[in-house]
Amino acid sequence: MDTTRLKTDVCGFLEHPGDDVRFGELALRMFRWHLDAMPKYRAFCLRRAADPSRIDDWRKIPPLPVEAFRYAELSCSTPAAIAQRFSTSGTSGQKDPRRGRGVAAFDRAALDVMDVAIRVNAARHLFPDQLKCRIFVLAPRPEDVPHMIMAHGMRHLMSVFGDAQSAFVASKDGLDVERLLEGLASATSDGVPVCLIGASFAFVNLLDGLAASGRTVAALPKHSRIMDAGGYKNRSRELTPEVFRELVGRAFGVPDSHLVNLLGMTELASQIYDNALSDTGSDRVRCKTPPAWVRTRVVSIDDQTVDAKPGELGFLVHYDLANFSRPLALISDDLGYVVAGGFNITSRVKSSEPRGCSVSLDELWRQA
């Protein structure tokens, strides 16, 4: 397998998206390489298809449950050639407390492709107006949290789209609220639009903290935008997306059209933005819109080889060409449904509490 050529072709597709045929061709080239280079992944695919190397449609590539990253370092490269290891979030309905977080291993080529993906994707979905912003990230610098993929991605984003005063405004100990407020105030006085980026829970905690001390923030300059990602992970109160946008939009004086939510998974090299900024058509429905090199299928719960009907709840399966030397088809533990132009997430898979006196595994674990 000529992986240098493949990398060039994939990056070319990222920069200048081709059609579905080209997508499928690249996906299958990558998949065959992955089968050869990752024996365990091949073993998994053999459970799903008699002869995976003969699969001839990208839709038939067996999606790997993201759970797999908890057990194995999945990369085509040897461990020595891994340039960066990121931790998965550890919230995927994990019941066995002795099992730790997962690892997403990136070799140099995978990091390069991811960086292209981050840039092209943000240009399309977060800065479609090609605005230069002052970016504040409510997370520690990548040097401080080398295992956090978001910090890595945001550093790259900042270098491309941010001005010189852009900054990470948290340390490992938490958010530096004073620094953030000073930064916002100076951006306001400079008249520079701000792009505020952080985990959803970080915004909620920030605003709850400010409200508790009776402080408010001045409305951000025109064209400012806010991007949240990652949900709550039990680290703040949980809000519905609508309530979250209402809260954050009001606090920072940012219109709903400039509040963007991002689906980011450490297991995927690409992020999936919602269409708030990228789709300005009047009849748009808010939804997640994968970039051209990512195909997200919502598959039927009962038969994951077929698509769910429109509006029907299903598992999300992502096919990501930017997962270069890592499995490209992943089935996540999010549930969602298809809408015109993309999809929406409703919830994570979680087992319902057993009723009555049948046993609950959680109770057993607490007891053991």
Partner 1 sequence: MPSTRYSPAHFSRSVDLTLHRLRVGHGIPDSAAPIARIIERVTADSFQQRERDRMREEAAAVQQRYSNQALELCVSRIPAGMPKQASAEPIAATALLGGVACRGVPCSPALLSQMATHLRDHGVAALRRLPIARLLTILDQASLLWLDPSYEKRSLAIEAIHRWTGFSREMVIHSIDLEMRSSRRLDLWRTLWTELGNPRVLDGRAWCPSGESPCLAFGPSLIGAVFSSNIPALPHLTYMRGLAVKSPVLGKVASNEPIFAAQYIDTLIELCPELAPALAALWFPGGSQELESALLSQADCVIAYGSDSALQGLSRAIPPESRRLLHGHRMGFGAVDHRGLQDPELAKQMAYDFAVFDGQACLAPVVYFVETELSGAEALAQAVGRELQALATWLPARTMRPEDRAAREHKVQQWEVQAVFGSEALRVVRAPGRALHWAGLVSEGEYIPQQLGDRLFHIHCIRSLDDVVPHVRPFSRYLQNVALSATGPAREQLAVRLAGLGVSRVNRPGRMATPSMMWHHDGRLCIAELVRWADIA
Residues that bind partner 1 (CB under 8 A): 40, 43-44, 47, 64-65, 67-68, 71-72, 93, 95-96, 301-305, 312-313, 315, 331, 333, 335, 347, 349-361, 363-365, 367-368
Give phi and psi for 5, each to the nearest 5: -65, -45
Cβ–Cβ under 8 Å, residues 269 and 293? no
Name the minimum Å distance from CB 245 to partner 1: 25
Instruction: Report the C-alpha gap between 166 and 125 in whole angstroms.
Output: 19
Name the minimum Å distance from CB 310 to partner 1: 15
As given in the structure block, the two tokens for residue 319 are 């096919």
Cβ–Cβ under 8 Å, residues 104 and 267? yes
Name the minimum Å distance from CB 356 to partner 1: 3
In the bound state with partner 1, the residue whose beta carbon lies nearer, of 186 and 360, is 360
In the bound state with partner 1, the residue whose beta carbon lies nearer, of 95 and 237, is 95
In the bound state with partner 1, the residue whose beta carbon lies nearer, of 43 and 164, is 43
* E strand or H helix at 123: helix 108-125
CA atoms within 13 A on the CB side of 95: 11
Name the minimum Å distance from CB 265 to partner 1: 16
179, with CB counted inside 10 A (0-12, 13-18, 19+), is: middle
In the bound state with partner 1, the residue whose beta carbon lies nearer, of 84 and 300, is 300
Instruction: Report the C-alpha gap between 222 and 237 in whole angstroms.
Output: 29
In the bound state with partner 1, the residue whose beta carbon lies nearer, of 293 and 319, is 319
Name the minimum Å distance from CB 76 to partner 1: 16
In the bound state with partner 1, the residue whose beta carbon lies nearer, of 2 and 312, is 312
Number of other residues whose CB lies within 10 A of the CB of residue 5: 10
Name the minimum Å distance from CB 336 to partner 1: 11
Q: Provide the β-strand partners of residue 134.
A: 194
